[in-house]
Structure 1
Amino acid sequence: MSFFRREREPARRSAAEEDLDSLLALVAESRGFTCAFARDGGSVTLRGETTLTVRLTGLRREAGRRAREDWPVLVSEHLAHAVATAGELDVSDLEQAGPLLRTRVEAVDEIADLTRVVGRHLNADLVELLTAAGRPVRPEEAGCWPVPTARALDLAVENVRREERLQVEQIELAGTPVTRLTGTAPSAAAHLRWLADYLPVPPDGVLVALPDPYTLLLHPVDGIGVVRAIERLRLHAARTGGLSPQVYWWHGGRLTLIRADIVARDGQTRLVVAPPPEFAQVLARLAV
């Protein structure tokens, strides 16, 4: 009796995968390419004036999270980006991109579409973006990596720490002492995680202003003088018009907004502070 080993047939493709492949082929043809899909659907080879292979794992994941009416734009952007960056760093390959991963903090309102970037919220106002070689990582690129997004962001933060130690300066804002940390990369906010390497951090944390992605302004929460510091930091941040005009509280590994509005009334300007409940309790204790 003889036995023959049958070649394993490729897994049956779902209707959604076949529809996405058809759309990919249509867009590729409109750009002057013919395409050949890998048997596992993980990539497609485009042949035209040049030949390149485009990874599809992340694109398929992103398409699965979106409505079908979003697919044409998603596919067109993905192929256009692949063609434009052919021969450059392949961010979808974590082995290549890993050493170049960094983070950058941006105001949420400055991000046109949060679904087109990879990052995590520091709070409702600020988002920590994942970048590679200085540009934001696209979800389709991160979707090709063998690690979850949270782990990739942690890798980026580790890179930031290894890359640079911030410069420490003691300055004054209208008589209020403030510590200024500055760096050469737009990743200063990542250093909040290891502030104790730069200055003594009291149990109640520190006030933080972020005038730009390269700078942190800090004041310890260690006495009732913190009320004056909030005012000085808020007015300074408003004048710089940079990353954020607000003041934050770094405590317990979290960055919490201390809302402070500049109000003009009867020809006078004053600051109206509305601290979050937990910080208000700290202020009440410090005032005793």
Structure 2
Amino acid sequence: MSWFRRKRESARRPVEHVDLDSLLALVAESLGYTFAFARDGSSMSLKAAPGTSPEGAAELAVRLTGLRREAGRRAREDWPMLVSEHLAHAVAGSGDPVDACDLDQARPLMRTRVESVDEVPDLTRVVGRHLNADLVELLTVGSRAVRPEEAGCWPVATVQALDLAVDNVRREERLGVERIELSGTPVTRLTGASPSAATHLRWLDDYLAVPADGALVALPDPYTLLLHPVDGIGVVRAIERLRVHAARTGGLSSQVYWWHEERLRLIKSDIVTQSGQTRLVVAPPPEFAKVLARLAV
């Protein structure tokens, strides 16, 4: 009778879950594991097949709630890759004392870091939000980015999880403040011990007096912010100095940004060499162009 009962339980489950379980079973076996699913489908246990691991090796529990949610958002042709990555990651991290799928364990270690969009191989495989078109703020646990199927296990929405990480950054670290000059132009350098410096833009007033028109920002690396207040026409020279410095460092971004009204806008500028002379060609966003016009009067 137990066989018929299992058949009835399988028939009551969504067909998508049944198909995903079939993939999970195939991948588990290909990795050399025997497996068993929890009755509610929320997890599966893996155990190395006989002869492939030390006697008495502990079973590995793999949470599936987040994986099922992520699979529901993806095309079916993505499922084999999704399942393979999920199980391979679970096996590789079996010795990690922190289960990133458990919010209680992950919460104290949650942080954010900013990356160039071009440096993230696949934005669909990380959890984050765009600061602008070319920079993304990633959610991390420890030193690595959180994957969607891990965050999908948590009883909070992604935006709430990111806010928890931001709160951790503010509580755990204060950036160092230093006044420096770039070819005669004074700027403020903020530095931190973790790659979360850009997260502190939200509390810029804690570090320097920010005028109503905001501040110029350069991000030479994830640990550093270079800032100059937008408080006079001297800001034009500051854009040039920051842009040249950022290009030389070759770090997080070679561009200069405008932090204003809780937004980070790109001030696109190109270093052009023509007839042996180098000059900066700036294409500011319309709102910043209006500020420059007003400051020039």
Give the whole-Å Cα distance in 1 for the aligned partners of 2:9 and 2:154: 23
Aligned letter for 1:97?
Answer: A
2:131 corresponds to 1:127: no
2:28 corresponds to 1:31: no
CA contact (8 A) 1:10 1:40 kept: no
2:147 corresponds to 1:142: no
Query: In structure 2, which of residues 116, 138, 141 is the aligned counterpart of residue 107 of structure 1?
Result: 116
Give the whole-Å Cα distance in 2 for the aligned partners of 1:30 and 1:270: 58
Match of 1:258 in 2: 267
Give the whole-Å Cα distance in 2 for the aligned partners of 1:255 and 1:154: 18
Match of 1:247 in 2: 256
Match of 2:219 in 1: 210
1:139-163 Cα deviation digits (max 9, x unpaired): 1100100001111111111111111
Match of 2:234 in 1: 225
- Written as runs of structure 1 = structure 2, the 5 A alignment for 1:133-212 is 133-212=142-221
Moved over 3 A (4+): none
1:97-137 Cα deviation digits (max 9, x unpaired): 00000001100000111111111100001000111011111
Give the whole-Å Cα distance in 1 for the aligned partners of 2:46 and 2:250: 46
Q: Which moved more, 1:20-29 or 1:207-216?
A: 20-29
Structure 1 alignment gaps of length 5 or more: 1-8
Give the whole-Å Cα distance in 2 for the aligned partners of 1:254 and 1:10: 51
Give the whole-Å Cα distance in 1 for the aligned partners of 2:265 and 2:207: 20
CA contact (8 A) 1:171 1:178 kept: yes
CA contact (8 A) 1:260 1:271 kept: yes
SS in structure 1 of the partner of residue 186 of structure 2: strand
How far does residue 26 in structure 1 lie from its aligned partner after superposition? 1.0
Give the whole-Å Cα distance in 1 for the aligned partners of 2:293 and 2:254: 25
SS in structure 2 of the partner of residue 122 of structure 1: strand
Give the whole-Å Cα distance in 2 for the aligned partners of 1:259 and 1:69: 38
How far does residue 73 in structure 1 lie from its aligned partner after superposition? 1.3
| Aligned sequence identity (%) | 78
SS in structure 1 of the partner of residue 106 of structure 2: helix
Give the whole-Å Cα distance in 1 for the aligned partners of 2:31 and 2:180: 56
Aligned letter for 1:31?
Answer: L
Give the whole-Å Cα distance in 1 for the aligned partners of 2:84 and 2:227: 45
Aligned letter for 1:83?
Answer: V
Give the whole-Å Cα distance in 2 for the aligned partners of 1:272 and 1:239: 17
Aligned letter for 1:22?
Answer: S
How far does residue 10 in structure 1 lie from its aligned partner after superposition? 6.2
CA RMSD of aligned residues (A): 1.1
- Written as runs of structure 1 = structure 2, the 5 A alignment for 1:56-95 is 56-88=64-96, 89-95=98-104
Aligned letter for 2:74?
Answer: R
Aligned letter for 1:23?
Answer: L
Aligned letter for 1:19?
Answer: D
Give the whole-Å Cα distance in 1 for the aligned partners of 2:146 and 2:129: 13
CA contact (8 A) 1:46 1:53 kept: yes
Aligned letter for 1:18?
Answer: V
Aligned letter for 2:83?
Answer: V
Match of 1:5 in 2: none
Give the whole-Å Cα distance in 1 for the aligned partners of 2:129 and 2:240: 28
Give the whole-Å Cα distance in 2 for the aligned partners of 1:15 and 1:162: 45
Give the whole-Å Cα distance in 1 for the aligned partners of 2:228 and 2:29: 58
Aligned letter for 1:57?
Answer: T
Match of 1:18 in 2: 18
How far does residue 87 in structure 1 lie from its aligned partner after superposition? 3.3
SS in structure 2 of the partner of residue 271 of structure 1: strand
Q: Which moved more, 1:262-271 or 1:28-37?
A: 28-37
How far does residue 16 in structure 1 lie from its aligned partner after superposition? 1.1
Structure 2 alignment gaps of length 5 or more: 1-7
How far does residue 212 in structure 1 lie from its aligned partner after superposition? 0.2
Match of 2:3 in 1: none
Give the whole-Å Cα distance in 2 for the aligned partners of 1:252 and 1:122: 13
SS in structure 1 of the partner of residue 89 of structure 2: helix
2:60 corresponds to 1:52: yes
Kindly tell me the number of residue pairs found equivalent between the two proteins: 280
